[in-house]
Amino acid sequence: MQFDLIVVGAGAAGLLCAGMAGQRGLRVLVIDHADKVAEKIRISGGGRCNFTNRDAGPTNFLSDNPNFCRSALARYTPQDFIALVQKHGISFHEKHKGQLFCDDSAEQIIRMLLDECAQGGVQHWQPCTVTDIQQPERDGGGFTVETSRGPLQCSRLVVATGGLSIPKIGASDWGLRLAQRFGHKIVTPRAALVPLTFDAQDWAPFATLSGLSLPVIVSTGKGKTQGRFVEDLLFTHRGLSGPAILQISSYWQDGQPLQINLSPDADLATMLQAAKSDSKRQLGNVLGGLFPQRLAQAWLERLGLPSQRPMPECKDKDLQQLAQQLQAWQLTPNGSEGWRKAEVMRGGVDTRELNSQNMESKRIPGLHFIGEVMDVTGWLGGYNFQWAWASAAACARSI
Ligand code: FDA
Protein backbone atom coordinates (compact mmCIF):
# COMPACT_ATOMS: atom_id res chain seq x y z
CA MET A 1 0.00 0.00 0.00
CA GLN A 2 1.21 3.48 -0.86
CA PHE A 3 0.69 6.63 1.25
CA ASP A 4 1.88 10.20 0.86
CA LEU A 5 2.58 10.35 4.56
CA ILE A 6 2.95 7.81 7.34
CA VAL A 7 2.95 9.15 10.89
CA VAL A 8 4.38 6.82 13.56
CA GLY A 9 2.85 7.74 16.94
CA ALA A 10 -0.82 8.61 17.44
CA GLY A 11 -0.26 11.06 20.28
CA ALA A 12 -0.72 14.80 20.47
CA ALA A 13 1.68 15.81 17.70
CA GLY A 14 1.03 12.80 15.45
CA LEU A 15 -2.76 13.18 15.41
CA LEU A 16 -2.74 16.93 14.77
CA CYS A 17 -0.18 16.54 11.98
CA ALA A 18 -2.11 13.67 10.37
CA GLY A 19 -5.42 15.56 10.48
CA MET A 20 -3.96 18.74 9.00
CA ALA A 21 -2.06 16.90 6.27
CA GLY A 22 -5.12 14.77 5.42
CA GLN A 23 -7.25 17.89 5.10
CA ARG A 24 -4.71 19.24 2.62
CA GLY A 25 -5.52 16.30 0.40
CA LEU A 26 -2.65 13.95 1.29
CA ARG A 27 -3.15 10.21 1.73
CA VAL A 28 -2.19 9.71 5.37
CA LEU A 29 -1.78 6.67 7.64
CA VAL A 30 -1.17 6.87 11.41
CA ILE A 31 0.44 3.87 13.13
CA ASP A 32 0.65 3.35 16.90
CA HIS A 33 1.81 0.31 18.84
CA ALA A 34 -0.52 1.00 21.78
CA ASP A 35 -4.12 -0.22 22.05
CA LYS A 36 -5.48 3.27 22.63
CA VAL A 37 -4.52 6.57 20.99
CA ALA A 38 -3.06 9.52 22.86
CA GLU A 39 -2.83 8.02 26.33
CA LYS A 40 -0.76 10.97 27.54
CA ILE A 41 -3.49 13.40 26.58
CA ARG A 42 -5.98 11.21 28.45
CA ILE A 43 -4.03 11.37 31.73
CA SER A 44 -2.81 14.94 31.33
CA GLY A 45 -3.76 17.83 33.55
CA GLY A 46 -5.34 15.48 36.10
CA GLY A 47 -7.74 14.22 33.38
CA ARG A 48 -8.66 17.73 32.18
CA CYS A 49 -5.68 18.31 29.83
CA ASN A 50 -3.82 21.59 30.22
CA PHE A 51 -3.87 21.84 26.44
CA THR A 52 -1.96 25.10 26.00
CA ASN A 53 -0.68 28.19 27.76
CA ARG A 54 -1.95 31.57 26.59
CA ASP A 55 1.51 33.09 27.13
CA ALA A 56 3.65 30.38 25.53
CA GLY A 57 6.79 31.75 23.88
CA PRO A 58 10.35 30.60 23.15
CA THR A 59 11.61 31.52 26.64
CA ASN A 60 9.39 28.81 28.14
CA PHE A 61 11.37 26.04 26.43
CA LEU A 62 14.70 24.33 27.07
CA SER A 63 16.91 23.03 24.29
CA ASP A 64 20.58 22.83 23.37
CA ASN A 65 19.51 24.89 20.35
CA PRO A 66 17.21 27.45 21.98
CA ASN A 67 16.24 29.43 18.86
CA PHE A 68 14.99 26.40 16.96
CA CYS A 69 11.47 26.52 18.41
CA ARG A 70 10.85 30.21 17.55
CA SER A 71 9.58 29.82 14.01
CA ALA A 72 7.08 27.02 14.67
CA LEU A 73 5.77 28.67 17.85
CA ALA A 74 5.25 31.95 16.00
CA ARG A 75 3.40 30.30 13.12
CA TYR A 76 1.03 28.15 15.23
CA THR A 77 0.18 30.06 18.39
CA PRO A 78 -1.89 29.19 21.48
CA GLN A 79 -4.66 31.28 19.85
CA ASP A 80 -4.65 28.95 16.83
CA PHE A 81 -5.21 25.92 19.05
CA ILE A 82 -7.82 27.77 21.12
CA ALA A 83 -9.68 28.51 17.87
CA LEU A 84 -9.68 24.78 17.05
CA VAL A 85 -10.94 23.91 20.54
CA GLN A 86 -13.71 26.52 20.19
CA LYS A 87 -14.65 25.23 16.73
CA HIS A 88 -15.31 21.85 18.38
CA GLY A 89 -17.44 23.45 21.11
CA ILE A 90 -15.11 22.40 23.94
CA SER A 91 -15.47 24.67 26.96
CA PHE A 92 -12.37 25.51 28.95
CA HIS A 93 -11.06 27.70 31.74
CA GLU A 94 -7.82 29.37 32.78
CA LYS A 95 -6.46 27.97 36.02
CA HIS A 96 -3.15 29.62 36.84
CA LYS A 97 -0.60 31.70 34.92
CA GLY A 98 -2.21 31.32 31.48
CA GLN A 99 -2.80 27.54 31.78
CA LEU A 100 -5.94 26.45 29.88
CA PHE A 101 -7.82 23.28 30.89
CA CYS A 102 -10.94 21.56 29.54
CA ASP A 103 -13.96 22.17 31.80
CA ASP A 104 -15.03 18.58 31.30
CA SER A 105 -12.44 16.01 30.22
CA ALA A 106 -9.20 15.44 28.31
CA GLU A 107 -11.16 12.92 26.21
CA GLN A 108 -12.68 15.91 24.42
CA ILE A 109 -9.27 16.90 23.03
CA ILE A 110 -8.67 13.32 21.83
CA ARG A 111 -12.10 13.21 20.18
CA MET A 112 -11.42 16.58 18.56
CA LEU A 113 -8.11 15.34 17.07
CA LEU A 114 -9.75 12.13 15.83
CA ASP A 115 -12.59 14.14 14.24
CA GLU A 116 -10.00 16.30 12.49
CA CYS A 117 -8.28 13.11 11.24
CA ALA A 118 -11.62 11.70 10.04
CA GLN A 119 -12.29 14.93 8.12
CA GLY A 120 -8.95 14.47 6.41
CA GLY A 121 -9.68 10.81 5.56
CA VAL A 122 -6.74 9.65 7.71
CA GLN A 123 -6.39 5.88 8.16
CA HIS A 124 -5.36 4.38 11.52
CA TRP A 125 -3.50 1.13 12.17
CA GLN A 126 -3.47 0.32 15.82
CA PRO A 127 -2.10 -1.63 17.57
CA CYS A 128 0.58 -2.05 14.92
CA THR A 129 4.33 -2.36 15.28
CA VAL A 130 6.84 -0.91 12.83
CA THR A 131 9.52 -3.56 12.45
CA ASP A 132 11.81 -1.85 9.96
CA ILE A 133 12.21 1.24 7.80
CA GLN A 134 14.16 1.12 4.56
CA GLN A 135 15.10 4.06 2.45
CA PRO A 136 15.67 3.53 -1.28
CA GLU A 137 19.14 4.37 -2.58
CA ARG A 138 18.19 7.62 -4.30
CA ASP A 139 17.20 10.69 -2.25
CA GLY A 140 13.52 11.61 -2.35
CA GLY A 141 12.54 8.05 -3.23
CA GLY A 142 10.43 7.67 -0.12
CA PHE A 143 10.43 4.88 2.46
CA THR A 144 9.45 1.25 2.79
CA VAL A 145 7.87 0.65 6.17
CA GLU A 146 7.69 -2.94 7.42
CA THR A 147 4.94 -3.43 9.97
CA SER A 148 3.25 -6.23 11.91
CA ARG A 149 0.37 -5.84 9.42
CA GLY A 150 2.48 -5.94 6.28
CA PRO A 151 4.73 -3.67 4.20
CA LEU A 152 3.89 -0.08 3.22
CA GLN A 153 5.36 2.61 1.01
CA CYS A 154 5.32 6.34 1.71
CA SER A 155 6.85 9.51 0.29
CA ARG A 156 7.29 11.06 3.73
CA LEU A 157 7.67 9.62 7.19
CA VAL A 158 6.87 11.55 10.37
CA VAL A 159 8.28 10.31 13.67
CA ALA A 160 5.93 11.41 16.48
CA THR A 161 6.70 8.76 19.08
CA GLY A 162 7.08 11.19 22.00
CA GLY A 163 9.39 11.01 25.02
CA LEU A 164 10.43 8.25 27.40
CA SER A 165 8.28 9.10 30.41
CA ILE A 166 5.65 6.66 31.72
CA PRO A 167 6.76 3.54 29.79
CA LYS A 168 3.72 1.57 31.00
CA ILE A 169 1.41 3.60 28.70
CA GLY A 170 3.40 3.16 25.50
CA ALA A 171 6.47 5.40 25.70
CA SER A 172 9.40 3.97 23.74
CA ASP A 173 12.84 4.94 22.48
CA TRP A 174 11.96 3.83 18.95
CA GLY A 175 12.07 7.36 17.52
CA LEU A 176 15.45 8.07 19.13
CA ARG A 177 16.90 4.80 17.83
CA LEU A 178 15.58 5.46 14.33
CA ALA A 179 17.11 8.95 14.37
CA GLN A 180 20.46 7.50 15.41
CA ARG A 181 20.27 4.86 12.73
CA PHE A 182 19.88 7.61 10.14
CA GLY A 183 22.92 9.43 11.54
CA HIS A 184 21.21 11.97 13.80
CA LYS A 185 22.77 13.09 17.08
CA ILE A 186 20.76 12.69 20.25
CA VAL A 187 20.93 15.17 23.13
CA THR A 188 21.09 12.84 26.15
CA PRO A 189 17.53 12.15 27.34
CA ARG A 190 16.76 12.93 30.99
CA ALA A 191 13.60 12.71 33.05
CA ALA A 192 12.17 16.24 33.48
CA LEU A 193 9.19 17.82 35.23
CA VAL A 194 9.84 15.17 37.86
CA PRO A 195 9.97 15.02 41.70
CA LEU A 196 13.49 15.13 43.14
CA THR A 197 14.84 12.75 45.77
CA PHE A 198 17.46 13.01 48.55
CA ASP A 199 19.70 10.68 50.46
CA ALA A 200 17.46 8.85 52.96
CA GLN A 201 19.58 9.79 55.96
CA ASP A 202 19.77 13.48 55.03
CA TRP A 203 16.06 13.54 54.36
CA ALA A 204 14.99 11.87 57.63
CA PRO A 205 14.32 15.21 59.47
CA PHE A 206 12.01 16.33 56.64
CA ALA A 207 10.26 13.03 55.83
CA THR A 208 7.71 13.79 58.57
CA LEU A 209 6.68 16.90 56.60
CA SER A 210 5.28 14.76 53.78
CA GLY A 211 2.13 16.33 52.34
CA LEU A 212 3.01 19.86 53.43
CA SER A 213 2.92 22.50 50.70
CA LEU A 214 3.97 26.17 50.63
CA PRO A 215 4.93 28.87 48.11
CA VAL A 216 8.69 29.24 47.57
CA ILE A 217 11.32 30.65 45.23
CA VAL A 218 13.53 27.86 43.91
CA SER A 219 16.60 28.24 41.72
CA THR A 220 19.53 26.25 40.39
CA GLY A 221 22.43 26.72 37.98
CA LYS A 222 24.15 29.85 36.79
CA GLY A 223 24.03 32.24 33.84
CA LYS A 224 22.26 30.96 30.74
CA THR A 225 21.49 27.60 32.32
CA GLN A 226 19.95 29.07 35.46
CA GLY A 227 16.34 28.23 36.32
CA ARG A 228 14.27 30.22 38.83
CA PHE A 229 10.60 29.73 39.69
CA VAL A 230 8.09 31.16 42.16
CA GLU A 231 5.65 28.32 42.73
CA ASP A 232 4.34 25.90 45.37
CA LEU A 233 6.66 23.25 46.80
CA LEU A 234 5.44 19.92 48.22
CA PHE A 235 7.32 17.78 50.75
CA THR A 236 7.16 14.02 50.05
CA HIS A 237 8.48 10.95 51.93
CA ARG A 238 11.49 10.70 49.62
CA GLY A 239 12.09 14.34 48.73
CA LEU A 240 10.42 17.32 47.10
CA SER A 241 7.70 17.75 44.51
CA GLY A 242 5.00 20.28 43.58
CA PRO A 243 5.11 22.73 40.66
CA ALA A 244 8.22 24.54 41.94
CA ILE A 245 10.28 21.34 41.99
CA LEU A 246 8.87 19.90 38.76
CA GLN A 247 9.83 23.15 37.02
CA ILE A 248 13.34 23.32 38.48
CA SER A 249 13.95 19.60 37.81
CA SER A 250 14.21 20.42 34.09
CA TYR A 251 17.17 22.71 34.83
CA TRP A 252 18.79 20.59 37.54
CA GLN A 253 22.02 18.73 36.70
CA ASP A 254 23.46 15.83 38.73
CA GLY A 255 25.38 17.05 41.77
CA GLN A 256 24.12 20.62 41.50
CA PRO A 257 22.53 22.22 44.59
CA LEU A 258 19.09 23.85 44.71
CA GLN A 259 18.52 27.13 46.56
CA ILE A 260 15.11 27.46 48.15
CA ASN A 261 13.58 30.54 49.78
CA LEU A 262 10.80 29.16 52.00
CA SER A 263 9.49 32.63 52.81
CA PRO A 264 9.54 34.52 49.49
CA ASP A 265 7.49 37.53 50.58
CA ALA A 266 9.14 38.34 53.91
CA ASP A 267 12.40 39.67 55.25
CA LEU A 268 12.67 36.99 57.90
CA ALA A 269 15.78 38.32 59.64
CA THR A 270 14.11 41.70 60.26
CA MET A 271 10.87 40.07 61.40
CA LEU A 272 12.59 37.75 63.89
CA GLN A 273 14.72 40.61 65.18
CA ALA A 274 11.63 42.78 65.66
CA ALA A 275 9.89 39.95 67.58
CA LYS A 276 12.80 39.83 70.04
CA SER A 277 11.42 42.68 72.06
CA ASP A 278 8.16 40.78 72.74
CA SER A 279 8.73 39.15 76.12
CA LYS A 280 5.40 37.27 75.99
CA ARG A 281 6.31 35.25 72.90
CA GLN A 282 8.45 32.16 72.40
CA LEU A 283 10.53 31.29 69.36
CA GLY A 284 8.24 28.35 68.43
CA ASN A 285 5.08 30.46 68.19
CA VAL A 286 6.79 33.31 66.38
CA LEU A 287 8.07 30.91 63.73
CA GLY A 288 4.77 28.98 63.77
CA GLY A 289 3.03 32.27 62.89
CA LEU A 290 5.19 32.65 59.82
CA PHE A 291 5.28 29.03 58.59
CA PRO A 292 3.14 25.90 58.87
CA GLN A 293 3.64 24.64 62.48
CA ARG A 294 5.18 21.29 61.42
CA LEU A 295 7.75 23.05 59.26
CA ALA A 296 8.65 25.54 62.00
CA GLN A 297 9.13 22.70 64.49
CA ALA A 298 11.26 20.61 62.13
CA TRP A 299 13.52 23.56 61.44
CA LEU A 300 14.03 24.43 65.08
CA GLU A 301 14.87 20.79 65.86
CA ARG A 302 17.30 20.72 62.95
CA LEU A 303 19.15 23.76 64.24
CA GLY A 304 18.92 22.63 67.90
CA LEU A 305 16.91 25.70 68.96
CA PRO A 306 14.31 25.16 71.74
CA SER A 307 10.85 26.19 70.60
CA GLN A 308 9.93 27.35 74.14
CA ARG A 309 12.78 29.82 74.35
CA PRO A 310 11.39 33.33 75.13
CA MET A 311 12.14 35.72 72.28
CA PRO A 312 14.22 38.19 74.31
CA GLU A 313 16.56 35.31 75.26
CA CYS A 314 17.22 34.34 71.63
CA LYS A 315 20.71 35.19 70.43
CA ASP A 316 20.99 37.48 67.39
CA LYS A 317 23.35 34.96 65.81
CA ASP A 318 20.79 32.13 66.13
CA LEU A 319 17.98 34.23 64.68
CA GLN A 320 20.16 35.28 61.78
CA GLN A 321 21.14 31.68 61.11
CA LEU A 322 17.50 30.60 61.27
CA ALA A 323 16.46 33.32 58.79
CA GLN A 324 19.38 32.51 56.55
CA GLN A 325 18.61 28.78 56.50
CA LEU A 326 14.93 29.32 55.75
CA GLN A 327 15.47 31.89 53.04
CA ALA A 328 18.57 30.40 51.41
CA TRP A 329 18.12 26.68 52.07
CA GLN A 330 20.75 24.91 50.00
CA LEU A 331 20.33 21.20 49.32
CA THR A 332 21.55 18.75 46.70
CA PRO A 333 19.20 16.07 45.34
CA ASN A 334 20.67 12.59 44.84
CA GLY A 335 18.40 11.97 41.86
CA SER A 336 14.83 12.07 40.64
CA GLU A 337 11.82 9.76 40.67
CA GLY A 338 12.77 8.89 37.07
CA TRP A 339 10.77 8.02 33.96
CA ARG A 340 7.99 6.40 35.99
CA LYS A 341 6.97 9.78 37.42
CA ALA A 342 8.40 12.29 34.92
CA GLU A 343 5.91 14.30 32.85
CA VAL A 344 8.36 14.82 30.02
CA MET A 345 11.76 13.99 28.57
CA ARG A 346 14.47 16.59 28.36
CA GLY A 347 16.82 16.11 25.38
CA GLY A 348 15.99 14.06 22.30
CA VAL A 349 16.74 14.38 18.58
CA ASP A 350 19.25 17.22 18.18
CA THR A 351 17.43 20.05 16.41
CA ARG A 352 20.62 21.40 14.82
CA GLU A 353 20.15 18.70 12.19
CA LEU A 354 16.48 19.53 11.56
CA ASN A 355 14.85 22.27 9.49
CA SER A 356 12.97 24.64 11.82
CA GLN A 357 10.44 25.49 9.08
CA ASN A 358 9.06 21.98 8.56
CA MET A 359 10.86 19.72 11.08
CA GLU A 360 12.51 17.77 8.24
CA SER A 361 15.81 15.99 8.68
CA LYS A 362 18.73 17.78 7.03
CA ARG A 363 20.27 14.34 6.53
CA ILE A 364 17.37 12.31 5.14
CA PRO A 365 14.92 14.16 2.89
CA GLY A 366 11.32 13.20 3.64
CA LEU A 367 11.99 12.20 7.25
CA HIS A 368 10.42 14.50 9.87
CA PHE A 369 10.44 14.58 13.67
CA ILE A 370 7.71 16.35 15.66
CA GLY A 371 6.70 16.75 19.31
CA GLU A 372 8.54 15.56 22.37
CA VAL A 373 10.94 13.19 20.58
CA MET A 374 12.91 16.32 19.63
CA ASP A 375 15.21 18.27 21.92
CA VAL A 376 12.60 20.91 22.81
CA THR A 377 11.16 20.71 26.34
CA GLY A 378 8.54 23.03 27.74
CA TRP A 379 7.92 24.26 31.26
CA LEU A 380 5.07 22.85 33.29
CA GLY A 381 1.75 24.48 32.35
CA GLY A 382 0.54 23.57 28.85
CA TYR A 383 3.80 24.40 27.07
CA ASN A 384 4.63 20.84 26.04
CA PHE A 385 1.32 20.38 24.29
CA GLN A 386 1.80 23.76 22.60
CA TRP A 387 5.11 22.47 21.24
CA ALA A 388 3.41 19.26 20.04
CA TRP A 389 0.75 21.35 18.20
CA ALA A 390 3.19 23.92 16.79
CA SER A 391 5.76 21.41 15.52
CA ALA A 392 2.97 19.24 14.05
CA ALA A 393 1.44 22.21 12.24
CA ALA A 394 4.82 23.35 10.88
CA CYS A 395 5.35 19.88 9.44
CA ALA A 396 1.81 19.33 8.09
CA ARG A 397 1.59 22.71 6.37
CA SER A 398 4.83 22.26 4.49
CA ILE A 399 4.39 18.82 2.94
P1 FDA B 1 2.86 11.49 22.88
O2 FDA B 1 3.51 10.82 24.03
O3 FDA B 1 1.62 12.27 23.10
O4 FDA B 1 2.55 10.41 21.75
C5 FDA B 1 3.48 9.47 21.34
C6 FDA B 1 2.73 8.29 20.73
O7 FDA B 1 3.68 7.46 20.09
C8 FDA B 1 2.02 7.45 21.77
O9 FDA B 1 0.67 7.23 21.35
C10 FDA B 1 2.81 6.15 21.78
O11 FDA B 1 2.00 4.99 22.03
C12 FDA B 1 3.36 6.11 20.37
N13 FDA B 1 4.56 5.32 20.22
C14 FDA B 1 5.67 5.32 21.01
N15 FDA B 1 6.57 4.43 20.55
C16 FDA B 1 6.02 3.85 19.44
C17 FDA B 1 6.47 2.86 18.54
N18 FDA B 1 7.64 2.26 18.67
N19 FDA B 1 5.63 2.51 17.52
C20 FDA B 1 4.43 3.10 17.37
N21 FDA B 1 3.95 4.04 18.21
C22 FDA B 1 4.75 4.42 19.23
N23 FDA B 1 1.80 18.56 28.77
C24 FDA B 1 1.07 19.71 28.76
O25 FDA B 1 1.36 20.61 27.97
N26 FDA B 1 0.00 19.84 29.61
C27 FDA B 1 -0.37 18.87 30.50
O28 FDA B 1 -1.38 19.00 31.21
C29 FDA B 1 0.45 17.71 30.56
N30 FDA B 1 0.20 16.74 31.49
C31 FDA B 1 0.96 15.60 31.51
C32 FDA B 1 0.71 14.61 32.47
C33 FDA B 1 1.44 13.45 32.49
C34 FDA B 1 1.20 12.43 33.58
C35 FDA B 1 2.44 13.23 31.50
C36 FDA B 1 3.22 11.95 31.46
C37 FDA B 1 2.70 14.21 30.54
C38 FDA B 1 1.98 15.41 30.55
N39 FDA B 1 2.25 16.41 29.62
C40 FDA B 1 1.51 17.57 29.64
C41 FDA B 1 3.26 16.24 28.56
C42 FDA B 1 2.55 15.86 27.22
O43 FDA B 1 1.68 14.77 27.46
C44 FDA B 1 3.59 15.48 26.17
O45 FDA B 1 4.60 16.46 26.09
C46 FDA B 1 2.90 15.33 24.80
O47 FDA B 1 1.93 14.30 24.86
C48 FDA B 1 3.93 15.02 23.75
O49 FDA B 1 3.25 14.78 22.54
P50 FDA B 1 3.85 13.79 21.47
O51 FDA B 1 2.82 13.64 20.42
O52 FDA B 1 5.22 14.20 21.11
O53 FDA B 1 4.00 12.40 22.23
Q: Compute the residue count for the chain.
A: 399
Task: Provide the pLDDT confidence category of residue 135 given band limits of 50, 70 and 90.
Answer: confident
Q: What is the reported pLDDT for 33? A: 97
Whether 13 lines ligand 1, by a CB cut-off of 6 Å, is yes
**What single letter denotes the amino acid at residue 282?**
Q
pLDDT in tens, 139-184: 667 999 999 999 999 999 999 999 999 999 989 999 999 999 999 9
pLDDT at 103: 98
How many percent of the chain have pLDDT more than 90? Answer: 94
Mean pLDDT for 308-316 is 95
Q: What is the pLDDT averaged over residues 213-233?
A: 94
Q: What percent of the chain has pLDDT over 70?
A: 99
Residue nearest to atom 48 of ligand 1 (CA): 372
The predicted pLDDT at position 329 comes to 96
Q: What is the pLDDT of residue 139?
A: 60
Phi, psi values for residue 238, rounded to 5°? -100, -10
Would you say residue 293 has pLDDT above 90? Answer: yes
Nearest protein CA to atom 45 of ligand 1, as residue: 384
Give the position, in ligand 1's atom list, of the atom nearest the Cα of 171.
14
Give the model's pLDDT for residue 137. 64
Between the alpha carbon of residue 32 and those of residues 44, 113, 144, 220, 367, the distances in Å are 19, 15, 17, 38, 17
Q: For residue 167, report the distance from its CA to the centre of ligand 1, in Å.
A: 10
Distances (CA, A) of 171 to 23, 167, 198, 272: 28, 4, 26, 50
The answer to whether the CB of 126 is under 6 A from ligand 1 is no
Contact 204, 38 (CB under 8 A): no
373 Cα nearest atom in ligand 1:
52
The pLDDT of residue 279 is 85
How far apart (Å, rounded) are the C-alpha atoms in residues 68 and 357? 9
34 lines ligand 1 (CB under 6 A): yes
Mean pLDDT of 188-215: 95
pLDDT (0 to 100) of residue 140: 63
371 lines ligand 1 (CB under 6 A): yes
How remote is the CA of residue 117 from the centroid of ligand 1, in Å?
18
74 Cα: distance to centroid of ligand 1 (angstroms):
22
Residue 70 pLDDT level (bands cut at 50, 70, 90): very high
How far apart are alpha carbons 227 and 231 in whole angstroms?
12
pLDDT band of residue 186 (cuts 50, 70, 90) is very high
Whether residue 384 has its Cβ less than 6 Å from ligand 1: yes
Distance 345 CA to ligand 1 centre (A): 10
Q: Where are the alpha helices (DSSP H) in 120-193?
A: 174-181
More confident residue, 218 or 278: 218
| Cα 137 to middle of ligand 1, angstroms | 33
Of the listed ranges 117-131, 214-228, 335-349, 362-376, the one predicted with least confidence: 214-228
Instruction: Report yes or no: 197 and 238 within 8 Å, Cβ to Cβ.
Output: yes
Q: What is the pLDDT of residue 128?
A: 97
Expressed in angstroms and rounded, the spacing between residue 270 Cα and the centre of ligand 1 is 48
- As a whole number of angstroms, the distance between CA 304 and CA 318 comes to 10
Residue nearest atom 19 of ligand 1, based on CA coordinates: 33
| pLDDT for position 223 | 84
pLDDT at 138: 62
Name the closest-CA residue to atom 14, ligand 1.
Answer: 161
Residue 244: predicted pLDDT:
98
Average per-residue pLDDT in the chain?
A: 96
Residue with CA at minimum distance from ligand 1 atom 12: 9
Answer yes or no: are the C-beta atoms of 280 and 293 closer than 8 Å. Answer: no
Closest-CA residue, ligand 1 atom 50, reads: 162
Read off the pLDDT of residues 25-56 as tens digits, 9 standing for 90 and up: 999 999 999 999 999 999 999 999 999 999 99
For ligand 1, say whether the CB of 60 is within 6 Å of any of its atoms: no
